[in-house]
Structure formats: structure tokens, C-alpha cells
Structure 1
Amino acid sequence: MTEGTSVVTSRQRRGAVGLLLAMVLLGVFPLDVLLPSFPALAAHFSRTPADIALSISLFAVGIAFAQLLIGPLSDRIGRKGLLLSGLGVSMLGALGCVMTADYSLFLIFRVMQALGCGCFVLSQALVQDLFEGEQRDRLRILMVTATGIFISLSPLAGAFLQATLGWRGSFWVFTALSALVMIKAWLFLDSGRPTSSAAHLGFVRAYRRVLSDFEFVSYWLISAFAFACHFSFIVISPLIFMDQLQLTTYDFSLILLIYGAAYVFGGIAATLLSRRINARQQIVAGLSLILLAGLVMLFLAQHFARSPATVLIPMLICTAGTTIARPAATSRAMALFPEIAGTSASAGSTIIFVCGGLISALISLSPSNLQATLGYCFVLLSGIALALNRRISRRARVLDRSAITSTGGD
């Protein structure tokens, strides 16, 4: 199968879906599954939990840097080689983390693992290469749904690995999964190189081309704002449920399982809607649910005592909205520059990464009233995203009228 081929057989489609979902899982694994092992890591390296948290920050920086290079480079030399190389580097980094007893070396190997994990940004480019039309939209819905489920299951998986294999367990399992994905990618993907002349643009020119396009940036911002609502909840949920509501780790894990189930129902709803309404209408529907979630959260915060239900109910509504809006916006953005899909995926992932990190950090600065702050955040972000979507629609209508006028004049 050659990269860039959008028509695939049913057998090839199943292989591609399996590969992409495995990449989604590996993208979640190095961060979320490791969280329950923080105390054990701190004890092993004789460091504070804050020092161990630094490894998470460095990991995030490493991924951000790597994906900025990997996307455009994949447009020039192909996806397969970079994906295999990235998996190999991430495995070496994970093994280094297991073997070292020195904290500084541990940080270096974590950065190495992160640089390799930057290759997972290619999942969106591979969707663009291997599928077309509704298949792309449905696969992106599936990937968003799977991401939510994997994140929700991570605390339980991390706690199990910590209890059975210690803090090294997550690194061993990551290495084993990476090896399996490497074999699957080697067997499934072709080593074909892009033939489009646009694929050979320099890094700066390629990024300038996509980031100067209003529609491209706007769709990725819509996707980023929807993601930020989900990500902010994940970041501050331990503060709400364990610090403020005094739930046990087990109870907190069960709540996240319910949150993961909401992704399943949201994915089903998104799939049904994708067959009945267009992408812009899907975006409006999803963002409207996020707006409703914000209003419900504010109402519950003002009129009821804080409880797991008053936080979780609006989050379930928000989850449905996120699962509907994000895939539709991502598909619209990725369709604009299919000849440089790697650059498009890297630029979009960076926008999502920056927005999610900044917004969640701002929300966490108000620990005394996290529920209300989260509600205001949902209302504000969904409102801005709806305005962007409306602006895109207006620009499209203006361009269509101009094209008709120009054709009539000719």
C-alpha cells in the first residue's frame, strides 16, 4: 500500500485502524499511566514529587519540539521511516529510564522518549493519506473517542502496574507495545515518498503556508478550544475530587471510568450526526453542547453544594460536545492542505498543545472555586469557537459569490 493512496481494501482498512488506535494509545501511555507512580519515583531517586513532575514538563516540551520537525519532514521523505525511527528512539528512552539510578540521566532519557513519541503526530497525516471522505471523518471520531477512553482508564492501569511491577512497569509495557506497533507499521506501511511538489517546501515556507490561512488556523483553534475543555477537567480533576471532595484514589478512578463511558456515547452520537449533517453543522452542535455544559455547571455551582454529581453531570455533556466538534473541525482543517498533511498535522497539534496547556494552567490558578472557573471557561471558549465557525461560513459565502460574479463576468 502506497502512502497517499486514499482507496483501501477492507482488510487494509482494518490494519490501518488498528495501527492508528495503537498510536493513540502510545501517545497517552507515557504521561497518564505514569502518574500513580510519582511517589515511588520520588522515593527511588530521593527527590520531591515536584522534581518528578519536572519530568512530565520536559516530556511535553520534547514532544512539542519533535512534532514541529517530524510533520514537515514526513512530507518530504515519507511517513514510514520517521514512524519507525521515532518508535525506536522512544523505546531506547524508555529502557534508559528503567536502567538508570541517576535522576539527571532519568530526565535525559525521558526527553529522549518524548522526542521519539513526537512521531505519533503522524496519525492525523496517515488518516489523510489512507482514507477519504466519510471514512476520514468516522475514523477521527473513533480516535477522539479512543483518546478519551484511554485517558479515563489510565489511573486504574497505572495503579495496577505500580502495584504489580513497580514504577518501571509502565516503561516496560510501553516498550513492549512500541515493539508491536513497530512490527505492524513495518509490515503495513509502504516506504513510498510524496510526489507532490508542495511536499518539498522548506520547513519555514511550509508552516508559513498553512499558518497564514485563516480557515486552517480557525478550524484548528475550534478543535483546540474543544480539547482544552476536556484537558482542563483532566488536569484539575484530582484537585476537585480528591483534595476538595476527599474521595479516595479508587473512587476517583471510578469517576474517570464514567467519564470514559461518556466518550463512547459521544462517539456514537458523532457518528450518527456525521451521516445526517455537514461538518460545519456538527461543529455548531458540538460547541453548543459545550456551551450548555458551562451554563449547567455554573447553575449547579451556584444553587447546589459541590458533589461528584454536580461536577460530573455537566462534564458528561461537555464530553459529548467535544467528541462531536473536534473530529469535524480537524477533518475540515486537514482537508485544506492534503499535499502537506504532515505539516498540517504538526501545526494543528502544536496549536492544540499550546491552547490546552495555557488554558488548563490558568484555570488551576483559582483553586478555591474551580467548578465555577471551569464553567466560565466552557462558556467563553465555546462562544469564541462558535464565532470563528460563523466567520468561516461568512467568508465562504463571500468567496462563493465572488467566484460566481467573476464567472458571470467572463
Structure 2
Amino acid sequence: MSNEKYAISAKKRRSAVVLLMTMVLLGVFPLDVLLPSVPALANHFQTSPADIAFSISLFAIGISVSQLLIGPLSDAIGRKGLLLAGMAVSIIGSTGCVLSTEYTWFLMFRVVQAVGCGCFVLSQALVQDLFGGPERDRLRILMVTASGIFISVSPFMGSVLQQALDWPGSFYLFIALAVTVFLKAYFFLEDQRPAGASRQNIIHSYRRVCADLSFMGYWLIAAIAFTCHFSFIVVSPLIFMDQLQMSTFEFSLTLLIYGAAYIIGGIAAQVLANRIAPNTQIVVGLSLIFLSGLLMLLLSISLGLSALTVLVPMIICTVGTTIARPIATSKAMDVFPNNAGTSASAGNTLVFIFGGLISALINLSASDLQSTLALAFLLLSTTALGLNAQVNRRPCRSELARDRRQR
């Protein structure tokens, strides 16, 4: 995509950042903020907590299928219309959830909400469209940092909303934020198709991007970095509340402390982005994840399970994730700059599936989650380091295209 075509003023740049950060915040509400309300939802709809958990799983499936269609479509018809449509559908779904009196209706409207939330995948495409070079990398670092902080504070936020407004509280706030994104996108984004975008059908578009080894390699590295964070989030209630017997409030405060690691990681990533090469940043981030796994394993053997022996390694791991994931994402998105929607959808789906599968496997080891988590970090970071070395042995598609233009 032509950077000149999408060059924006300082005022519009600020508007773009606000829009993207609001989309990142909005992304934690359908899943993370709702978790403290699971018992209240089960009681309201006279069903079991397992049924409410099923609605969360169904939501995840719905958003995955939706984003697979939205990304390629946005390459063909533009981002604005799809983002506005997605926000409108998600608002309708959320409103339906609040008004539902039966579980079946609630389940149906959760799927509607999920279909609308598939438009969140456009945040990566918008970054690719509106920003370039180091500024693009810095914004992705900011988005990963903000996402981690929002996820860390979401249980506390969900508890506050549950206490103040009962289970509809998270839906009310979601609707308010979705309306904000809708209005911001309506007045800020231009209604145009990305320059140079391909008109190929969806299947051909996915086949094209997924056949590129550099594209898949960098997205796998980003997926591995995300998985280390996501696996901890998934098993953290079992570690802190079931095994360490923390209360819900204590658990929320513990995750607030963990969220501080994202601030540290974001600062470190910004500093490194200005001083070392992108591939070196990836190596540094993955090496920190490896170090965190090694430290967690040693602490588990020598001191046993405690909040300290889990949190200290996880802070190191999170710093590594915040350094490696944004630059790996940028490298992946740069391979097909004119197919940013398809690239973002393919990559985000890979990240989601990989994170879900690995976290589910770790969750099977309920008796020794700390050691399993540590071994997973060691294996995953080693795999990602090998992938990075392999990818850098061959020039990526964007570099080959640049060389052809220079000739």
C-alpha cells in the first residue's frame, strides 16, 4: 500500500491512535471482563456455569469464523464500511443479551455479538494502512502493551461492574465503547478501498499468503509469544484460586501486579526498537521467555508453588512477549502490504488457534501446572528461536519485491 496515499496529519494520527486503543480495550469485554459474572449469569438464566462457559467458547468460535471473512473482504471493499457494520452488529448482539430472558436467546445473541466483533481484526490492517516504518512498529508495541494491561485489570473491572450493575454491567459498558468506536470510525476513516489491493477470491487470497514461509514463520513467532502470556491467563485461576486458595479480590489484585509487567515490557520494547535490528529484538524477547521458563522450573523445584515463584518468572516472560510479539507481527504484515486485511485475519486466526490449543494442553496437567507452564515456555521459545533463524536464512517476499524495483 502506498504510504503517500495514507499519509495523515498529526491530528488525524492522534485520532487513529485513540480509535485503535479503544478497539483494543473493547476486545477484552466479551470474554475477560465477563468472567466474574459467570455465577450470576448461571443463576439468572437458571442454568449451570458449564452452560455459560459454553457460551464463551461459542463466542470465540463465532469471532474466529467472522474475522476469516472480514479481513479479505476489507481488502476488496475497504475497511470503514466493514468496521461500521461490525460495530453495529455487535451492539445489536449485546443489547439482545441484556434483554434476553431465556438462555437460548442469550446464546443466540452472543453469537450475533461475536460475528460483529470479528471486525476487531481490522485494527492490524488499519495500522498497516495508516502508519509506516518505525512509527508502525511503535504503535504495535503500544497495542500489545495496552492489551496486556487491559486483560490483567479485566477481572478487577469485571468484579466492580458485577457489584455495581450485576451481570449486564459489562454489556452496558461494551455498548458504550462500541458506539464510541462506531462514531470515531464514521467521522475519521475515509471510505475507500486500499490502494493496490487484490481482487482475488477469499480462498485464493488465503492460499497466497499462507504459502509464503516468511509470512507464516513470523506469524508463528508472534503466536508463540502470545501463547506464553495466554496460557498463564487461562491457568491463573487454577493456580491462584484453586491451589493457593486466594479470594476473587486477591486474585484480581495479583493480576494487577502482573499487568505492571506489560508497562515494563512496553518501555523496554520502545527503547530496543530505536537501538537494535528487528530480528535482534525478536531474539531478545524470545530469550527472555526462555529465561522465564528456566527460572520458573528452578523455583518450582527448590521452593515449590507460591505467588512469588509464579509471578517473578511471569513478569520476565511478559517483558519478552511485549518485545517479541509486536515486531514479529510487523515483519509478518510487511510481507503482503497490499493484502493487510487477509494477512491480519490469517495471522490472528493462527494466533488464536495456537494459543487455545497449547493452553488447553497445559490445562490438562492440573496437578503440576507450574512445572508444565515452565516446560512449555522452554519448548515454545526454543521452537520460535529456531523459526526465526530459519526465516532469516531466506529473504521475504517484500524484500524480493524491493530488490526487483531497485533493479
- The equivalent residue for 1:120 is 120
Matches within 5 A, 1:3-402: 5-196=5-196, 198-396=197-395
Percent identity between matched residues is: 62
CA distance in 2, matches of 1:230, 1:319: 6
Q: Give 1:7 shift.
A: 2.2
Contact 1:3 1:190 in 2 (8 A): no
CA distance in 1, matches of 2:236, 2:188: 39
Q: Give 1:4 shift.
A: 8.0
Q: Give 1:281 shift.
A: 0.5
Contact 2:3 2:131 in 1 (8 A): no
Q: Which runs of 5+ in 2 are unaligned?
A: none
CA distance in 2, matches of 1:191, 1:378: 43
Given residue 320 of structure 1, which amino acid in structure 2 is its aligned partner?
A: V
What SS does structure 1 have at the residue aligned with 2:101?
coil
Contact 1:125 1:342 in 2 (8 A): yes
Contact 1:32 1:151 in 2 (8 A): yes
Give a deviation string over 1:216-266, Cα, whole Å, max 9, x none: 000000000000000000000000000000011111111100111110110
Contact 2:218 2:332 in 1 (8 A): yes
Contact 1:228 1:359 in 2 (8 A): yes
CA distance in 1, matches of 2:254, 2:158: 15
CA distance in 1, matches of 2:92, 2:399: 52
Given residue 174 of structure 1, which amino acid in structure 2 is its aligned partner?
A: F
CA distance in 2, matches of 1:395, 1:194: 28
Hey, which bits of structure 1, 4+ residues long, moved more than 3 A?
Answer: 2-6
CA distance in 1, matches of 2:361, 2:194: 41
CA distance in 1, matches of 2:264, 2:112: 37
CA distance in 2, matches of 1:19, 1:42: 34
Contact 1:224 1:355 in 2 (8 A): yes
What SS does structure 2 have at the residue aligned with 1:23?
helix
Give a deviation string over 1:196-215, Cα, whole Å, max 9, x none: 2x421110111011000000
CA distance in 2, matches of 1:169, 1:149: 20
Given residue 253 of structure 1, which amino acid in structure 2 is its aligned partner?
A: S
CA distance in 2, matches of 1:88, 1:400: 39
CA distance in 1, matches of 2:118, 2:154: 20
Contact 1:127 1:136 in 2 (8 A): yes
Q: Give 1:139 shift.
A: 0.1
Contact 1:122 1:342 in 2 (8 A): yes
Given residue 106 of structure 2, which amino acid in structure 1 is its aligned partner?
A: F
Given residue 316 of structure 2, which amino acid in structure 1 is its aligned partner?
A: I
CA distance in 2, matches of 1:145, 1:122: 18
Q: Give 1:393 shift.
A: 1.4
Q: CA RMSD in A?
A: 1.9
What SS does structure 1 have at the residue aligned with 2:190?
coil
Q: Give 1:3 shift.
A: 9.6
C-alpha spacing 1:124/1:4, structure 2 compared with 1 (3 Å): farther
Q: Give 1:28 shift.
A: 1.1
CA distance in 2, matches of 1:174, 1:3: 33
TM-score by length of 2: 0.96
CA distance in 1, matches of 2:277, 2:249: 41
Q: Give 1:369 shift.
A: 0.3
CA distance in 2, matches of 1:285, 1:343: 29
Given residue 347 of structure 1, which amino acid in structure 2 is its aligned partner?
A: A
CA distance in 2, matches of 1:228, 1:3: 32
Q: Which runs of 5+ in 1 are unaligned?
A: none
Q: Give 1:396 shift.
A: 3.2
CA distance in 2, matches of 1:285, 1:3: 29
CA distance in 2, matches of 1:4, 1:121: 24
CA distance in 2, matches of 1:3, 1:78: 16
What SS does structure 2 have at the residue aligned with 1:148?
helix
